[in-house]
Protein backbone atom coordinates (compact mmCIF):
# COMPACT_ATOMS: atom_id res chain seq x y z
CA UNK A 1 0.00 0.00 0.00
CA UNK A 2 1.31 3.46 -0.92
CA UNK A 3 2.16 5.70 2.05
CA UNK A 4 0.00 8.81 1.56
CA UNK A 5 1.98 10.72 4.22
CA UNK A 6 4.35 11.65 1.40
CA UNK A 7 1.83 14.42 0.63
CA UNK A 8 2.12 16.15 4.01
CA UNK A 9 5.87 15.64 4.04
CA UNK A 10 6.14 17.29 0.63
CA UNK A 11 4.09 20.22 1.89
CA UNK A 12 6.30 20.56 4.96
CA UNK A 13 9.49 20.66 2.91
CA UNK A 14 7.95 23.12 0.45
CA UNK A 15 7.26 25.48 3.35
CA UNK A 16 10.76 24.98 4.80
CA UNK A 17 12.35 25.82 1.44
CA UNK A 18 10.69 29.26 1.61
CA UNK A 19 11.61 29.98 5.25
CA UNK A 20 13.39 33.37 5.36
CA UNK A 21 15.91 31.91 7.81
CA UNK A 22 16.95 29.62 4.94
CA UNK A 23 16.87 32.20 2.12
CA UNK A 24 17.82 35.57 3.63
CA UNK A 25 21.52 34.87 4.37
CA UNK A 26 22.48 34.28 0.73
CA UNK A 27 20.57 37.37 -0.47
CA UNK A 28 21.75 39.84 2.16
CA UNK A 29 24.79 42.02 1.40
CA UNK A 30 27.21 43.12 4.12
CA UNK A 31 25.59 45.73 6.34
CA UNK A 32 26.26 49.16 4.79
CA UNK A 33 28.03 51.91 6.65
CA UNK A 34 25.97 54.89 7.74
CA UNK A 35 22.32 54.95 8.64
CA UNK A 36 20.39 51.77 7.85
CA UNK A 37 16.61 51.48 8.20
CA UNK A 38 14.68 48.22 7.83
CA UNK A 39 11.01 48.38 6.84
CA UNK A 40 8.55 45.84 5.54
CA UNK A 41 5.10 44.33 5.37
CA UNK A 42 3.62 40.90 4.84
CA UNK A 43 2.91 37.61 6.54
CA UNK A 44 6.60 36.70 6.34
CA UNK A 45 8.03 40.13 7.14
CA UNK A 46 8.61 39.53 10.87
CA UNK A 47 10.46 36.30 10.13
CA UNK A 48 12.45 38.14 7.46
CA UNK A 49 13.36 40.82 10.01
CA UNK A 50 14.42 38.14 12.46
CA UNK A 51 16.64 36.58 9.77
CA UNK A 52 18.18 39.95 8.87
CA UNK A 53 19.16 40.68 12.47
CA UNK A 54 20.63 37.18 12.78
CA UNK A 55 23.10 38.34 10.10
CA UNK A 56 23.43 42.08 10.74
CA UNK A 57 22.71 42.40 14.44
CA UNK A 58 20.27 44.98 15.88
CA UNK A 59 18.76 47.35 13.31
CA UNK A 60 16.53 50.42 13.32
CA UNK A 61 13.16 49.90 11.66
CA UNK A 62 9.58 48.69 11.66
CA UNK A 63 7.71 45.94 9.83
CA UNK A 64 4.01 45.07 9.76
CA UNK A 65 2.80 41.49 9.89
CA UNK A 66 -0.43 39.58 10.45
CA UNK A 67 -1.82 39.10 13.94
CA UNK A 68 -0.09 36.09 15.48
CA UNK A 69 2.90 36.25 13.13
CA UNK A 70 5.29 38.38 15.22
CA UNK A 71 8.82 37.16 15.85
CA UNK A 72 11.49 38.09 18.41
CA UNK A 73 13.77 40.82 17.06
CA UNK A 74 16.65 42.81 18.52
CA UNK A 75 15.96 46.32 17.28
CA UNK A 76 13.36 46.21 14.52
CA UNK A 77 9.86 46.87 15.85
CA UNK A 78 7.19 44.37 14.86
CA UNK A 79 3.61 45.65 14.55
CA UNK A 80 0.74 43.22 14.05
CA UNK A 81 -2.30 44.19 12.01
CA UNK A 82 -5.29 42.68 10.25
CA UNK A 83 -5.29 40.54 7.10
CA UNK A 84 -6.94 40.08 4.61
CA UNK A 85 -8.92 43.24 5.41
CA UNK A 86 -6.93 46.21 6.75
CA UNK A 87 -7.49 47.74 10.18
CA UNK A 88 -6.44 50.85 12.09
CA UNK A 89 -3.29 49.17 13.40
CA UNK A 90 -2.07 48.73 9.83
CA UNK A 91 -2.92 52.31 8.89
CA UNK A 92 -1.09 53.75 11.90
CA UNK A 93 1.97 51.53 11.40
CA UNK A 94 2.14 52.51 7.72
CA UNK A 95 2.19 56.18 8.72
CA UNK A 96 5.10 55.43 11.04
CA UNK A 97 7.03 53.71 8.27
CA UNK A 98 6.60 56.74 6.02
CA UNK A 99 7.81 58.98 8.86
CA UNK A 100 10.92 56.81 9.22
CA UNK A 101 11.72 57.40 5.55
CA UNK A 102 11.31 61.17 5.63
CA UNK A 103 14.45 63.23 5.19
CA UNK A 104 16.79 60.39 4.18
CA UNK A 105 19.81 61.31 2.10
CA UNK A 106 21.73 59.66 -0.71
CA UNK A 107 24.18 58.09 1.75
CA UNK A 108 21.44 56.34 3.73
CA UNK A 109 20.28 52.78 3.07
CA UNK A 110 16.81 51.22 3.32
CA UNK A 111 16.23 47.47 3.42
CA UNK A 112 12.64 46.67 2.51
CA UNK A 113 11.19 43.25 3.37
CA UNK A 114 8.07 42.45 1.36
CA UNK A 115 5.92 39.32 1.21
CA UNK A 116 2.38 38.26 0.43
CA UNK A 117 -0.24 39.89 2.61
CA UNK A 118 1.46 43.26 2.35
CA UNK A 119 -1.36 44.67 0.24
CA UNK A 120 -3.65 44.66 3.29
CA UNK A 121 -1.06 45.22 6.00
CA UNK A 122 0.63 48.22 4.35
CA UNK A 123 -2.37 50.52 4.21
CA UNK A 124 -2.56 54.21 3.28
CA UNK A 125 -5.91 54.97 1.62
CA UNK A 126 -5.76 57.30 -1.37
CA UNK A 127 -7.73 60.46 -2.02
CA UNK A 128 -10.42 61.12 0.57
CA UNK A 129 -10.97 57.45 1.35
CA UNK A 130 -11.51 56.51 4.99
CA UNK A 131 -10.40 53.24 6.54
CA UNK A 132 -13.99 52.05 6.29
CA UNK A 133 -13.99 52.85 2.57
CA UNK A 134 -10.75 50.93 2.17
CA UNK A 135 -12.17 47.94 4.04
CA UNK A 136 -15.30 47.91 1.89
CA UNK A 137 -13.12 48.02 -1.23
CA UNK A 138 -10.94 45.13 0.00
CA UNK A 139 -13.98 43.00 0.76
CA UNK A 140 -15.49 43.68 -2.65
CA UNK A 141 -12.24 42.69 -4.36
CA UNK A 142 -11.86 39.52 -2.30
CA UNK A 143 -15.43 38.42 -2.99
CA UNK A 144 -15.20 39.17 -6.71
CA UNK A 145 -13.02 36.17 -7.52
CA UNK A 146 -10.87 38.40 -9.74
CA UNK A 147 -7.30 37.21 -10.47
CA UNK A 148 -4.73 38.63 -8.06
CA UNK A 149 -3.13 40.74 -10.80
CA UNK A 150 -6.39 42.57 -11.47
CA UNK A 151 -7.09 43.02 -7.77
CA UNK A 152 -3.66 44.57 -7.31
CA UNK A 153 -4.14 47.05 -10.15
CA UNK A 154 -7.16 48.46 -8.34
CA UNK A 155 -5.39 48.42 -4.97
CA UNK A 156 -2.39 50.32 -6.31
CA UNK A 157 -4.38 53.18 -7.75
CA UNK A 158 -6.31 53.57 -4.49
CA UNK A 159 -3.20 53.76 -2.29
CA UNK A 160 -0.52 56.24 -1.23
CA UNK A 161 2.17 53.59 -0.79
CA UNK A 162 1.66 50.92 -3.46
CA UNK A 163 2.90 50.98 -7.04
CA UNK A 164 6.35 52.35 -6.17
CA UNK A 165 5.15 55.09 -3.84
CA UNK A 166 6.85 53.62 -0.75
CA UNK A 167 10.19 53.74 -2.57
CA UNK A 168 9.53 57.33 -3.60
CA UNK A 169 9.14 58.24 0.08
CA UNK A 170 12.71 57.04 0.71
CA UNK A 171 14.32 58.80 -2.26
CA UNK A 172 17.22 59.63 -2.66
CA UNK A 173 18.36 56.89 -0.25
CA UNK A 174 19.49 53.59 -1.70
CA UNK A 175 16.96 50.80 -1.27
CA UNK A 176 17.17 47.03 -1.51
CA UNK A 177 13.86 45.17 -1.44
CA UNK A 178 13.91 41.46 -0.66
CA UNK A 179 10.68 39.75 -1.71
CA UNK A 180 8.94 36.45 -1.11
CA UNK A 181 6.65 35.84 -4.07
CA UNK A 182 3.11 34.62 -3.59
CA UNK A 183 1.85 35.61 -7.04
CA UNK A 184 1.56 33.60 -10.26
CA UNK A 185 4.40 34.56 -12.57
CA UNK A 186 6.51 36.10 -9.77
CA UNK A 187 6.14 39.65 -11.07
CA UNK A 188 7.67 41.94 -8.40
CA UNK A 189 5.05 44.57 -9.26
CA UNK A 190 2.33 42.19 -8.02
CA UNK A 191 3.92 41.10 -4.73
CA UNK A 192 2.08 43.07 -2.01
CA UNK A 193 0.98 45.39 -4.85
CA UNK A 194 4.56 46.49 -5.56
CA UNK A 195 5.26 49.23 -2.98
CA UNK A 196 8.81 49.61 -4.32
CA UNK A 197 8.14 48.74 -7.98
CA UNK A 198 6.99 50.97 -10.82
CA UNK A 199 3.61 50.30 -12.40
CA UNK A 200 2.60 50.21 -16.08
CA UNK A 201 -1.17 50.25 -15.56
CA UNK A 202 -3.25 53.41 -15.38
CA UNK A 203 -6.22 54.50 -13.32
CA UNK A 204 -8.32 53.90 -16.45
CA UNK A 205 -7.22 50.26 -16.35
CA UNK A 206 -8.35 50.10 -12.74
CA UNK A 207 -11.72 51.57 -13.69
CA UNK A 208 -12.12 48.97 -16.45
CA UNK A 209 -11.51 46.17 -13.95
CA UNK A 210 -14.05 47.65 -11.55
CA UNK A 211 -16.61 47.75 -14.34
CA UNK A 212 -15.80 44.25 -15.62
CA UNK A 213 -16.07 42.72 -12.14
CA UNK A 214 -19.19 44.82 -11.39
CA UNK A 215 -17.67 46.04 -8.14
CA UNK A 216 -19.83 48.27 -6.01
CA UNK A 217 -17.18 50.53 -4.44
CA UNK A 218 -17.56 53.61 -2.22
CA UNK A 219 -17.79 56.93 -4.06
CA UNK A 220 -14.54 58.06 -2.44
CA UNK A 221 -12.75 55.11 -4.08
CA UNK A 222 -13.97 56.04 -7.55
CA UNK A 223 -12.97 59.66 -6.93
CA UNK A 224 -9.50 58.63 -5.71
CA UNK A 225 -8.73 57.01 -9.05
CA UNK A 226 -8.45 60.46 -10.62
CA UNK A 227 -5.60 61.31 -8.24
CA UNK A 228 -3.50 58.14 -8.52
CA UNK A 229 0.11 58.59 -7.44
CA UNK A 230 1.62 55.34 -8.72
CA UNK A 231 5.04 55.67 -10.32
CA UNK A 232 5.94 54.58 -13.82
CA UNK A 233 8.85 52.09 -14.04
CA UNK A 234 11.17 54.79 -15.43
CA UNK A 235 10.42 57.31 -12.68
CA UNK A 236 13.77 58.77 -11.47
CA UNK A 237 12.71 58.22 -7.86
CA UNK A 238 13.08 54.49 -8.50
CA UNK A 239 16.62 54.76 -9.83
CA UNK A 240 18.22 53.78 -6.52
CA UNK A 241 15.96 50.78 -5.90
CA UNK A 242 16.89 47.13 -6.39
CA UNK A 243 14.11 44.52 -6.13
CA UNK A 244 15.13 40.89 -5.56
CA UNK A 245 12.93 37.82 -5.16
CA UNK A 246 14.47 35.46 -2.59
CA UNK A 247 11.73 32.80 -2.45
CA UNK A 248 9.22 31.74 -5.09
CA UNK A 249 6.70 28.93 -5.63
CA UNK A 250 8.96 27.19 -8.16
CA UNK A 251 11.69 26.74 -5.54
CA UNK A 252 9.28 25.18 -3.05
CA UNK A 253 7.79 22.85 -5.65
CA UNK A 254 11.30 21.81 -6.69
CA UNK A 255 12.14 20.91 -3.07
CA UNK A 256 8.95 18.85 -2.78
CA UNK A 257 9.63 17.15 -6.10
CA UNK A 258 13.16 16.22 -5.04
CA UNK A 259 11.88 14.65 -1.82
CA UNK A 260 9.27 12.53 -3.59
CA UNK A 261 11.57 11.42 -6.38
CA UNK A 262 14.15 10.40 -3.80
CA UNK A 263 11.58 8.02 -2.35
CA UNK A 264 10.72 6.43 -5.69
CA UNK A 265 7.71 8.47 -6.79
CA UNK A 266 7.30 9.71 -10.34
CA UNK A 267 6.50 13.44 -10.12
CA UNK A 268 4.92 15.53 -12.86
CA UNK A 269 4.83 19.29 -12.25
CA UNK A 270 1.75 20.87 -13.81
CA UNK A 271 2.93 24.44 -13.20
CA UNK A 272 3.74 26.87 -10.41
CA UNK A 273 1.41 29.69 -11.49
CA UNK A 274 -2.00 28.06 -11.99
CA UNK A 275 -4.95 30.40 -11.48
CA UNK A 276 -8.72 30.14 -11.83
CA UNK A 277 -11.75 28.93 -9.90
CA UNK A 278 -10.69 26.34 -7.33
CA UNK A 279 -13.56 23.96 -8.08
CA UNK A 280 -12.93 24.12 -11.82
CA UNK A 281 -9.21 23.54 -11.43
CA UNK A 282 -9.95 20.58 -9.15
CA UNK A 283 -12.16 19.02 -11.83
CA UNK A 284 -9.45 19.55 -14.45
CA UNK A 285 -6.73 17.97 -12.31
CA UNK A 286 -8.91 15.06 -11.20
CA UNK A 287 -9.80 14.28 -14.83
CA UNK A 288 -6.07 14.19 -15.57
CA UNK A 289 -5.39 12.00 -12.53
CA UNK A 290 -8.07 9.51 -13.57
CA UNK A 291 -6.63 9.34 -17.07
CA UNK A 292 -3.15 8.77 -15.67
CA UNK A 293 -4.42 5.99 -13.40
CA UNK A 294 -6.27 4.26 -16.24
CA UNK A 295 -3.05 4.13 -18.24
CA UNK A 296 -0.84 2.87 -15.39
CA UNK A 297 0.63 -0.61 -15.48
CA UNK A 298 0.33 -2.70 -12.33
CA UNK A 299 4.07 -2.45 -11.66
CA UNK A 300 4.35 1.28 -12.37
CA UNK A 301 5.60 3.50 -9.53
CA UNK A 302 3.05 5.85 -7.92
CA UNK A 303 2.72 9.17 -9.70
CA UNK A 304 2.30 12.58 -8.08
CA UNK A 305 0.81 15.56 -9.93
CA UNK A 306 2.29 18.68 -8.33
CA UNK A 307 1.19 22.27 -8.82
CA UNK A 308 1.21 25.76 -7.33
CA UNK A 309 -0.29 29.16 -8.03
CA UNK A 310 -3.34 30.91 -6.66
CA UNK A 311 -6.87 29.67 -7.18
CA UNK A 312 -9.89 31.73 -6.20
CA UNK A 313 -13.45 31.33 -4.94
CA UNK A 314 -16.12 33.64 -6.33
CA UNK A 315 -19.79 33.85 -5.53
CA UNK A 316 -19.18 33.12 -1.85
CA UNK A 317 -22.07 31.04 -0.47
CA UNK A 318 -21.88 32.12 3.15
CA UNK A 319 -19.91 29.17 4.51
CA UNK A 320 -16.42 28.94 5.99
CA UNK A 321 -13.87 27.98 3.41
CA UNK A 322 -10.92 28.90 1.25
CA UNK A 323 -9.63 28.06 -2.23
CA UNK A 324 -7.44 25.15 -1.11
CA UNK A 325 -10.10 23.40 0.94
CA UNK A 326 -12.59 24.08 -1.86
CA UNK A 327 -10.17 22.50 -4.33
CA UNK A 328 -10.10 19.41 -2.09
CA UNK A 329 -13.86 19.27 -1.67
CA UNK A 330 -14.47 19.59 -5.41
CA UNK A 331 -11.77 16.96 -6.01
CA UNK A 332 -13.42 14.52 -3.61
CA UNK A 333 -16.75 14.96 -5.38
CA UNK A 334 -15.16 14.45 -8.81
CA UNK A 335 -13.18 11.38 -7.67
CA UNK A 336 -16.35 9.65 -6.41
CA UNK A 337 -14.45 7.30 -4.05
CA UNK A 338 -11.92 6.21 -6.69
CA UNK A 339 -9.43 3.89 -4.97
CA UNK A 340 -5.73 4.67 -5.09
CA UNK A 341 -5.94 8.49 -5.32
CA UNK A 342 -5.16 10.93 -2.50
CA UNK A 343 -5.11 14.75 -2.63
CA UNK A 344 -3.63 17.61 -0.62
CA UNK A 345 -4.10 21.34 -1.19
CA UNK A 346 -2.76 23.93 1.26
CA UNK A 347 -1.68 27.55 1.38
CA UNK A 348 1.97 27.79 2.38
CA UNK A 349 1.24 30.66 4.76
CA UNK A 350 -1.00 28.43 6.86
CA UNK A 351 -4.12 30.50 6.12
CA UNK A 352 -6.67 29.33 3.55
CA UNK A 353 -9.13 32.13 2.88
CA UNK A 354 -9.61 33.94 6.18
CA UNK A 355 -9.38 30.83 8.36
CA UNK A 356 -6.33 29.70 10.34
CA UNK A 357 -6.33 26.42 8.44
CA UNK A 358 -3.76 25.69 5.72
CA UNK A 359 -5.95 23.34 3.70
CA UNK A 360 -7.16 19.75 3.61
CA UNK A 361 -6.54 16.14 2.61
CA UNK A 362 -8.73 13.87 0.47
CA UNK A 363 -8.77 10.09 0.82
CA UNK A 364 -10.61 7.43 -1.22
CA UNK A 365 -13.10 7.10 1.65
CA UNK A 366 -13.67 10.83 2.20
CA UNK A 367 -17.22 10.76 0.82
CA UNK A 368 -18.02 7.59 2.78
CA UNK A 369 -17.11 9.38 6.01
CA UNK A 370 -18.79 12.68 5.14
CA UNK A 371 -20.95 14.10 7.92
CA UNK A 372 -22.50 16.83 5.78
CA UNK A 373 -23.71 16.78 2.20
CA UNK A 374 -20.60 17.49 0.08
CA UNK A 375 -22.58 19.11 -2.74
CA UNK A 376 -24.35 21.43 -0.29
CA UNK A 377 -21.02 22.27 1.37
CA UNK A 378 -19.57 23.13 -2.05
CA UNK A 379 -22.59 25.26 -2.91
CA UNK A 380 -22.17 27.22 0.33
CA UNK A 381 -18.36 27.48 0.01
CA UNK A 382 -18.27 25.66 3.36
CA UNK A 383 -15.26 23.44 2.73
CA UNK A 384 -13.53 24.10 6.07
CA UNK A 385 -16.60 22.90 7.93
CA UNK A 386 -16.76 19.79 5.74
CA UNK A 387 -13.16 18.75 6.37
CA UNK A 388 -13.18 19.94 9.99
CA UNK A 389 -15.86 17.39 10.86
CA UNK A 390 -13.67 14.68 9.33
CA UNK A 391 -10.49 15.82 11.11
CA UNK A 392 -8.90 16.00 7.66
CA UNK A 393 -7.83 19.64 7.81
CA UNK A 394 -4.17 20.58 7.65
CA UNK A 395 -3.46 23.03 10.48
CA UNK A 396 0.07 24.41 10.71
CA UNK A 397 -0.24 27.65 12.64
CA UNK A 398 1.82 30.57 11.30
CA UNK A 399 4.38 29.21 8.84
CA UNK A 400 6.15 32.61 8.69
CA UNK A 401 6.42 32.48 4.92
CA UNK A 402 4.11 32.64 1.91
CA UNK A 403 4.65 31.26 -1.58
CA UNK A 404 0.96 30.56 -2.10
CA UNK A 405 -0.90 27.37 -2.97
CA UNK A 406 0.61 23.89 -2.83
CA UNK A 407 -1.34 21.05 -4.44
CA UNK A 408 -0.41 17.41 -4.95
CA UNK A 409 -2.40 14.40 -6.20
CA UNK A 410 -0.97 10.97 -5.41
CA UNK A 411 -1.98 8.29 -7.93
CA UNK A 412 -1.34 4.61 -7.39
CA UNK A 413 -2.56 1.60 -9.30
CA UNK A 414 -5.24 -0.27 -7.32
CA UNK A 415 -4.36 -3.91 -6.80
CA UNK A 416 -5.37 -5.99 -9.80
CA UNK A 417 -5.93 -3.03 -12.13
CA UNK A 418 -4.53 -3.60 -15.61
CA UNK A 419 -4.80 -0.86 -18.20
CA UNK A 420 -6.65 -1.77 -21.40
CA UNK A 421 -4.44 -3.12 -24.18
CA UNK A 422 -3.88 -0.93 -27.18
Q: Is the same domain home to 80 and 98? A: yes
Q: Is the same domain home to 336 and 241? A: no
Instruction: Give strand ranges (E) for 226-290.
Output: 241-247, 266-277
**Going residue by residue through the chain (422 aa), what tens digit of pLDDT does each one get?**
678 999 999 999 999 999 999 999 999 999 999 999 999 999 999 999 999 999 999 999 999 999 999 999 999 999 999 998 999 999 999 999 999 999 999 999 999 999 999 999 999 999 999 999 999 998 898 888 788 889 999 999 999 999 999 999 999 999 999 999 999 899 999 999 999 999 999 999 999 999 999 999 999 999 999 889 999 999 999 999 999 999 999 999 999 999 999 999 999 999 999 999 999 999 999 999 999 999 988 778 999 999 999 999 987 788 999 999 999 999 999 999 999 999 999 999 999 988 899 999 999 999 999 999 999 999 999 999 999 999 999 999 999 999 999 999 999 987 655 454 54
Q: Is the same domain home to 238 and 259? A: no
**232, 247, 262 - which closes a domain:** 247
Dist CA 130 CA 344 (whole Å): 40
How many domains are there within the chain? Answer: 2
Q: Is the same domain home to 272 and 242? A: no
Q: Is the same domain home to 72 and 118? A: yes
Q: Is the same domain home to 206 and 327? A: no
H/E segment holding residue 62: strand 60-66
DSSP letter string, 350-398: S-BTTBS--EEEE-TTHHHH-SS-HHHHHHTT-HHHHHHHHT-EE----
Residue whose C-alpha is closest to residue 409's, from 363, 342, 359, 362: 342
DSSP state of 34: S
Dist CA 392 CA 377 (whole Å): 15
Q: What is the CATH number of the domain that holds 309?
A: 3.40.1480.10
The parent domain of residue 395 ranges over 6-12+250-411
92 lies in some domain: yes
**200, 228, 247 - which closes a domain:** 247
Q: Is the same domain home to 275 and 208? A: no
26 lies in some domain: no
Please tell me the pTM assigned to this model: 0.92
Q: Is the same domain home to 212 and 277? A: no
85 lies in some domain: yes
**193, 214, 247 - which closes a domain:** 247
Q: What is the pLDDT of residues 337-376, one digit of tens each?
A: 999 999 999 999 999 988 899 999 999 999 999 999 999 9
CB atoms within 10 A of CB 234: 8
Q: Is the same domain home to 261 and 238? A: no
Amino acid sequence: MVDHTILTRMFDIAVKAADPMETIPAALPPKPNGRVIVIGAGKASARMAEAVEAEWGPCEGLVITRYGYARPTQGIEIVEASHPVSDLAGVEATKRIITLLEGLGKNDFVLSLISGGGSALLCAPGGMMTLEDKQATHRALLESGAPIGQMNVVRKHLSRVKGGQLAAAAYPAKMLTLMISDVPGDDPADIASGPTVGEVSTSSDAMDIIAKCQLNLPRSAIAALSDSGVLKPDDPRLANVENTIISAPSQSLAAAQKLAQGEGFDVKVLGDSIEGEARQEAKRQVDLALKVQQEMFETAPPIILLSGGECTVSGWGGGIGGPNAEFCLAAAISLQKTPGIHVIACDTDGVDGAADVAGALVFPDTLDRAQVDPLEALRRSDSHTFFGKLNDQVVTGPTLTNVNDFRAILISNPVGHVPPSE
